[in-house]
Structure 1
């Protein structure tokens, strides 16, 4: 079955500032900047078997709503690594790595708020 998602867009107030957070975090997934348009930055993974693009879209006005994006990773150790790198890149803790029994018995995840307050999650199934 093909991927159900083609791309995800995240609104940010300053693309250059957001890039200081997303470059190191997305590098852990093999994502890097693929192309740029005025007011938009596109990330793509050349090494993962995926066609999903992640766009950062410049939205200089205050954001009424933030977004939640969950990145699936293969292991508990990688959830912890993403969390550590995201914190070091300026993200704020929104839920440290751990089991989330309220979601499922095998749901292990961590949550970070990016520089614009978007909820970025890293999750694996144990």
Structure 2
């Protein structure tokens, strides 16, 4: 992940479910254990200064977020999909080539417990 992004905020309705889902998924990208910032969970990258922030909201987000994380290989996309599905995710597109998105675009999509669309993509 590039240092061009300082942080990404994701609204969640349940910190426990969010941690169960995002903890293992973000670990694949080198993000460490969450820090609590007054009701906001922040996952810090060990590789960059980027943070992923989980905000607790009282109701489901009105517009689901789509965030795509860069994977290094097909194998990492597959691992993301497997880990996300094992930790409360819902299939929104199994790993595979996506020719409509571009040449050599290989991705997988999983909905988090709040319906946010989380993607891992490798550009082969």
Q: Same fold (TM over 0.5)?
A: yes
Question: In 1, are the aligned partners of 2:17 and 2:88 still within 8 Å (CA)?
Answer: no
Partner of 1:109: 107
Which contiguous aligned blocks of 4+ residues in structure 1 show a shift greater than 6 angstroms?
Answer: none
Q: 2:74 & 2:60 partners in 1: Cα distance?
A: 35
Return 5+ residue gaps in structure 2 as ranges.
none
CA distance in structure 2 between the partners assigned to 1:62 and 1:35 by the alignment? 23
Whether contact under 8 Å (1:111, 1:119) holds in the other structure is yes
Q: How much has 1:37 moved relative to structure 2? A: 1.7
RMSD over equivalenced CA pairs, Å: 1.2
Alpha-carbon separation, structure 1, partners of 2:19 and 2:34: 13
Query: TM-score, normalised to structure 2's length?
Result: 0.94
Kindly indicate whether the alpha-carbon contact (under 8 Å) linking 2:60 and 2:114 is maintained by their aligned counterparts in 1: no
Q: How much has 1:5 moved relative to structure 2?
A: 1.0
List runs of 5+ in structure 1 lacking aligned partners: none
Residue 79 of structure 1, aligned match among 77, 80, 89: 77
Distance in 2, matches of 1:34 and 1:15, equals: 11
Matches within 5 A, 1:1-126: 3-46=3-46, 48=47, 50-126=48-124
Q: Across the two proteins, how many residue pairs are aligned to each other?
A: 123
Alpha-carbon deviation of 1:34? 4.4
